[in-house]
Amino acid sequence: MEKIQIEKARQGLQGEIVIPGDKSISHRSVMFSALGDTPVRIKNFLHAQDCMSTAACMEALGAKVEFISDTELIVTGNGLHGLKEPATILDAGNSGTTLRLLMGILAAQPFLSTFTGDASLHKRPMGRVIKPLSQMGAQIYGRENNAKLPITVVPAKEKLHGMHYDSPVASAQVKSAILLAGMFAEGETTVNEPFVSRDHTEQMLAAFGVQLKREGTAVTIQPVEKFIAPQEIEVPGDISSAAYWLVAGSIVPGSKLLLKNVGINPTRTGILDVLKDMGAKITLQNERTSGGEAAADMLVEYSDLKGVTFGAEIMPRLIDEIPIIAVAALCAQGDTVITGAGELRVKETDRLMAIAKEFNKLAPGAVEEREDGLVIHGGANLQKATAFSYDDHRIAMSLAILGTVGAGVEIENPQCVNISYPEFYQTLEEIQ
C-alpha cells in the first residue's frame, strides 16, 4: 500500500494558488461540445482522472478530442444526432458524473452501449437515474435489478417521451441525466428537486442556445432542435478544490493565501456561507464572469473559528465539502452539528463513516457519526497517526490538511487525489 507523509506546518501558509478548472463544468464542456457540429476550444479544462474518463468516453462515441496542452483541448462533434456506437465498453472510472450524465444522453441513441467503472463506482446507486429514464421509455439494464454497474443501454423501442419528475434527492447528476434525455424526447420534461442542486448543466445548455424554464426548484426543457456550440468555453476554477485552501488558511495560525480564479456560482458557495458563519476571514476580489459562470479571487487569512449547525437545505450547495468542513470544525471552538447529509454515504466512499473512522485516529473521540450527519467536537487535541483515504480524493485531501494543522499524518493510498486535483500535494508543499 502506497503512503505519503504530511508534516505539521512550521509556520503560517503563505502564497498564491491558481485553482484548477471546475470538475463539474469540465465534464459538461466535453460532453456537450461532442454533441455540437463545430469545433469548441475548451480552456482551463481540469486535467484529472475523472474528466479524462469523460473525454475518453466522448472519443469512443465518435467525437474528435484533441489536446493542445494539459488544460486546453478542441472537441468536435458530429451534431446532436451524430454520436456513434462505441466499439467497446465505456469506462467511467471513478466518475459518477460521467456515468449518470452519459446514461441520460445514451438512453436516447439508436445504438447499444455498455458501461463499466472502478470498484467504487460499482457500489454506487444508479437506480436513481435508471428508474426515471425508464419512465421516459429508456431501456437500461444493470446488476442488482437495474441499479448498479455494469450497465447496458439498449435503443428505446420508440422515441423517449418527456415527463414531470419529482426527484426524491437533490442531485445535479440525476437532474442532468433527465434533462439531457429530455433534449431528445417528445414533449417537455420537467425535473423538480427538494432543493436546487448545482446548475452547471442549465448554465452550459444555455450557452449552446438551449432554452430552459426555471421556476423555484423545477427546471423544464423542451425537445432541442438547434444545438449551437460556442467557439470557446473557459472553465472557471473549482470551488470544491479551493475549499481545502479556504479551510487550511483559516486554521493554520499566521496563514494568508490568495486563491486565484475560483468559480462562485451561487449553487456551489455553501462552503463560503458556512465558513463565514464560523468566523472565517475570507474576502472576494476581482469578481467577474468566466465562461458564463461567476468567478472571483479569494483572500483567506487565519482566524478563530467557532462551531456551527447546518442541515439539508444548504447541503446541495456544499455536498462535496463536508470532509474539509469537518476539518475546520475540529479546529473550531464548540461543537459543529451537521444533519441532512445522508447523501454522503453514497459518494466515492461512505464519507460519513470515513470521516468518523479516520479523523478520530488523529483526533480521538472528536467525531460522532450519526445516521444522516456528524457531530464534531471542536478544539480537538490533534495527534499524529496513520489514516486511510478509502481511495476517496476528498478524504485524502482533508486528511492532509488535518495533518498539516495538527501533528502530521501518514495517508494510506494517497494517489486518489488524481481524481480531481493531481497537483494537490505539490501545492501543499509550495505554500509552506
Could you tell me which residues are annotated as the binding site for 3-phosphoshikimate? 23-24, 28, 171, 173, 320, 347
Nearer to ligand S3P, 183 or 385 (CB): 183
Is residue 343 within the footprint of ligand S3P (CB under 6 A)? yes
* 7 alpha-carbon distance from chain centroid: 28
**Minimal CB distance residue for ligand S3P:** 24
Give all strands of the β-sheet with 90-91 in edge-to-edge order.
90-91, 113-116, 148-154, 139-142
Rounded to a whole number of angstroms, the minimum distance from the CB of residue 230 to ligand S3P is 20
- Taking CB under 6 A as the criterion, the residue among 193, 234, 320, 358 binding ligand S3P is 320
Rounded to a whole number of angstroms, the minimum distance from the CB of residue 114 to ligand S3P is 22
Is residue 24 within the footprint of ligand S3P (CB under 6 A)? yes
Q: Is 320 a catalytic residue?
A: yes
Nearer to ligand S3P, 54 or 255 (CB): 54
Residues belonging to the binding site for phosphoenolpyruvate are 23, 96, 124, 173, 351, 394
Nearer to ligand S3P, 97 or 349 (CB): 97
Say how many C-beta atoms besides its own lie within 10 A of residue 213's C-beta.
11
Q: Residues touching ligand S3P: how many (CB under 6 A)?
A: 12
Nearer to ligand S3P, 197 or 255 (CB): 197
Nearer to ligand S3P, 318 or 409 (CB): 318
Rounded to a whole number of angstroms, the minimum distance from the CB of residue 55 to ligand S3P is 15
Residues belonging to the binding site are 23-24, 28, 96, 124, 171, 173, 320, 347, 351, 394
CA distances from 136 to 104, 162, 179, 278 (A): 10, 6, 11, 44
Give the chain as a 3 state SS string: CCEEEECCCCCCCEEEEECCECHHHHHHHHHHHCCCCCCEEEECCCCCHHHHHHHHHHHHCCCEEEEEECCEEEEECCCCCCCCCCCCCEECCCCHHHHHHHHHHHCCCCCCEEEECCHHHHHCCCHHHHHHHHHCCCEEEEHHHHCEEEEEEECCCCCCECCEEECCCCCHHHHHHHHHHHHCCECCEEEECCCCCCCHHHHHHHHCCCCEEEECCEEEECCCCCCCCCCEEECCECHHHHHHHHHHHHHCCCCEEEEEEEECCCCCCHHHHHHHHHCCEEEEEEEEEECCEEEEEEEEECCCCECCEECCCCHHHCHHHHHHHHHHHHCCECEEEECCCHHHHHCCCCHHHHHHHHHHHHCCCCEEEECCEEEEECCCCCCCEEEECCCCHHHHHHHHHHHHHCCCEEEECHHHHHHCCCCHHHHHHHCC
Please name which of 239, 212, 234, 246 lies closest in space to residue 289, comparing C-alpha atoms.
234
Site string for ligand S3P, 73-102 (x = CB under 6 A): ------------------------x-----
Is residue 321 within the footprint of ligand S3P (CB under 6 A)? no
Near ligand S3P by CB under 6 A, which window of 6-14, 168-176, 351-359, 404-412? 168-176
Is residue 173 within the footprint of ligand S3P (CB under 6 A)? yes
Catalytic residue among 22, 118, 199, 320: 320
Rounded to a whole number of angstroms, the minimum distance from the CB of residue 233 to ligand S3P is 15
Rounded to a whole number of angstroms, the minimum distance from the CB of residue 242 to ligand S3P is 15
- Taking CB under 6 A as the criterion, the residue among 171, 189, 250, 418 binding ligand S3P is 171
Is residue 120 within the footprint of ligand S3P (CB under 6 A)? no
The footprint of ligand S3P on residues 3-22 (CB under 6 A) is none
Nearer to ligand S3P, 140 or 196 (CB): 196
Is residue 402 within the footprint of ligand S3P (CB under 6 A)? no
Site string for ligand S3P, 192-211 (x = CB under 6 A): -----xx-------------
Active site members: 320
Query: What are the residues binding ligand S3P (CB under 6 A)?
Result: 24, 27, 97, 171-173, 176, 197-198, 319-320, 343
